Structure 1
């Protein structure tokens, strides 16, 4: 939570400087959401923009498009600008651009890691997710029947879905991609659950990472004069995913926020337990992609797992906002 002094100093900053700061915070959120573990919502908490983000998202009014014809007149343009500022759209655009930039950069690094060292990469993911769940879990949840039942349900659901994902049950069809985008957007507004974690749970993480890189590469190639066929194929998948995310922003995210307001403890227990149950998937992939359990390989896997654990625990140790009580 920002102090009054911080808010006042922020208000005195020039608008472009403030948006640049927000963009950098969006970079941090995107970096978190690009890797299964700490969520962008948690980073928003840490950087002091979580409440503003939620207010801005819940203030979005699609009816603003009805004002577009008035852009032909100066008075109409002023009305549109005033409405966009009321909904804090410049703030959302700055955050969104930062997140997109970070995801685009990290997607290539993650794809390289998954293609060259899949075992250690999944071990790292296991450490990230496991440590995040442990850091966010509260013992009070198991002392009450409601939260305990919700925790058991969350763990069981994720464990079963992770098993189906590991056996390749979920295809990379457009309806599944749309649903993945719909669910993954919740990672932006929920501390604890990252969008990348949801994609990993649904078996779409590696596929969407590869597709995003193809989309960027083919776009550059089209600018250089290449055939647009490959670009259009990747673009279709990206557009379907983003369409699902847009729908999810006004449905899933709102529903979860409502659940948090009415059944806070049980909802949090369910969400965090999802992470514990989902550990089945990276564990399976880690074992599947490790060829021979020699001592050197075990050391590498253990090192990657500890690195994932350490990254989250260090973040938890040095920040007061890593949690749900802010």
Structure 2
């Protein structure tokens, strides 16, 4: 598997070089009819467009040159294109170009909402829908990892729904994706989805540098984020703000993970986690192992899909 990953990584480097040499200069409105904006973020925006000559509807990701490096654009496009034939990953059309002010590429149009939009605060979504979503996203992540890449931005906003019951979902946005083994010297800020080892290289407010050693990008980062997403969509809230000693909710969970006396009692389980069955807690314990080396792979979640995750009385009925 590692050899395959290295081969894919080299292929991406070649694809990036070829794309850089052949990328066309086009103006968006000369070739596409802009229908409306369907997404916006730090990266730029996503437009619903139709191709002027073929009439094909598609989503056009548009990134300003003022805030996007060519190398970053090429990496996202080439990794996305390389992985896009998986059924649970947003497809690409193989169209990439630059305009006077933007870098752009065209992707499959997914009509529907993202997962974040359907989470009811403090309630979540039905367990059956969660499990359908989890099986599909774990399959997409296993595929990504088998090719030697790490997504690095697993969150509900990047999981697109083709229906409201999560019968078909697709993972999107490879803007942070990198080859496994890439070294990260620092990240800015912290998010609830970031693993503890990633938080050690977070550049916090008023900090100018990070003293921790560079962190190697590994699939275990996605595993952690994936588990936090599962918690969020089952409950409708975050388990913590960030994985640091200063966060009491994280510290409670870390203390539970560090317990040497098993089996534990319900009183040992942190309050936020008491709605889960022992089987679900066993799953979370593997996915959220504090030691990244001991963290299970995303695929292991399938061993728990046939078990109840929420205790009776806590089922989400929307």
TM bracket (short chain) = under 0.3
Structure with more contact order per residue of length (Cα contacts < 8 Å, sep ≥ 6): 1
- Provide the TM-score with structure 2 as the length reference: 0.26
- Provide the TM-score with structure 1 as the length reference: 0.26
Point out the structure with the larger helix share: 1
Point out the structure with the larger strand share: 2
